[in-house]
Chains A and B, each alone.
Chain A
Amino acid sequence: MTVANESQDTLDHDPKLGHSTLSLASYLLFVRRYLVIVNPVSGQGKGLPTFREKVHPILMEAGVKVELLVTERPGHARSMVSSSNLSEIDGIITVGGDGLLYEVVNGLRCRDDSDRISNIPLGIIATGSGNGLARSVAEYSKEDADYLKNPVLSTTLAAARGKVVPVNLMEVELDGRKIYSFLSVGWGLLADIDVESEVLRAIGESRFTIWSFLRLAKLRHYKAQLSYIPCERVSRDELNGTSRTSLRERDPVFIDGEFISVYSTCQSYIGSDLIFAPKAQPGDGLIHLTYMTKDAGRASATQFLLGIDKGAHLSVSGVSYVTVKEFTIRCAGGINGTITIDGERVTGEEIKIKISPRPLHVFAL
Chain B
Amino acid sequence: MGSKQSVFTEQEMDDYLDLTFFTKREIELCYQKFKSLSPEQVLKDRETRLPMKMILTMPELKVNPFNDRICKVFSSSEDGDLTFEDFLDMMSVFSEDAPVSVKAEYAFKIFDFDEDDMMGPEDLEQLIKRLLGDEELHARDIKQLVKNLTAEADLDDDGLLSFAEFEHVVAKSTDFVQAFRMRL
Best-buried of B169, B175, B178 by chain A (most CB within 10 Å): B175
State whether B148 touches A210 (Cβ < 8 A).
Answer: yes
State whether A302 touches B152 (Cβ < 8 A).
Answer: no
Q: Check if A80 is an interface residue, CB within 8 A of chain B.
A: no
State whether A196 touches B173 (Cβ < 8 A).
Answer: yes
State whether A209 touches B152 (Cβ < 8 A).
Answer: yes
A:202-221 near B, CB below 8 Å: 209-218
Q: Check if A299 is an interface residue, CB within 8 A of chain B.
A: yes
Q: Check if B8 is an interface residue, CB within 8 A of chain A.
A: no
B166 and chain A: residue at smallest CB distance: A211
- Residues in A neighbouring B133, C-beta threshold 8 A: 298
B:88-114 near A, CB below 8 Å: none
Shortest distance between the CB of A206 and any CB in chain B (Å): 9
- Interface 9-mer from B16-24, B38-46, B137-145: B137-145
- Residues in A neighbouring B132, C-beta threshold 8 A: 216, 298-299, 302
Q: In the assembly, what is the distance between CA of A211 and CA of B128, in Å? A: 11
Known contacts A209-B172, A297-B135, A298-B135; A218/B179 CB under 8 A: yes
Shortest distance between the CB of A94 and any CB in chain B (Å): 27
- Residues in B neighbouring A302, C-beta threshold 8 A: 128, 132, 137, 141, 145
A-B contact count (CB 8 A): 66
Q: Check if B153 is an interface residue, CB within 8 A of chain A.
A: yes
Q: Check if A306 is an interface residue, CB within 8 A of chain B.
A: yes
Q: Check if A356 is an interface residue, CB within 8 A of chain B.
A: no
State whether A212 touches B173 (Cβ < 8 A).
Answer: yes
Q: Chain B 57-68 against A: per-residue CB contact (8 Å), 1 yes, 0 no?
A: 000000001000
Q: Chain A 336-351 against B: per-residue CB contact (8 Å), 1 yes, 0 no?
A: 0000000000000000
The count of chain B contact residues (Cβ–Cβ below 8 Å) is 24
Known contacts A210-B152, A299-B135, A302-B132; A215/B172 CB under 8 A: no
- Residues in B neighbouring A29, C-beta threshold 8 A: none
Q: Check if B131 is an interface residue, CB within 8 A of chain A.
A: yes
Q: Check if B184 is an interface residue, CB within 8 A of chain A.
A: no
Name the one of A217, A218, A306 contacting B145, with C-beta atoms under 8 angstroms.
A306
State whether A214 touches B178 (Cβ < 8 A).
Answer: no
Q: Chain A 213-240 against B: per-residue CB contact (8 Å), 1 yes, 0 no?
A: 1111110000000000000000000000
- Residues in B neighbouring A216, C-beta threshold 8 A: 131-132
B positions within 8 Å CB-CB of A: 65, 128, 131-133, 135-137, 141, 144-145, 148-149, 152-153, 169-170, 172-176, 178-179
- Further 5 A-B residue pairs, CB within 8 A, beyond A214-B176, A215-B173: A196-B174, A211-B173, A212-B175, A214-B131, A306-B141
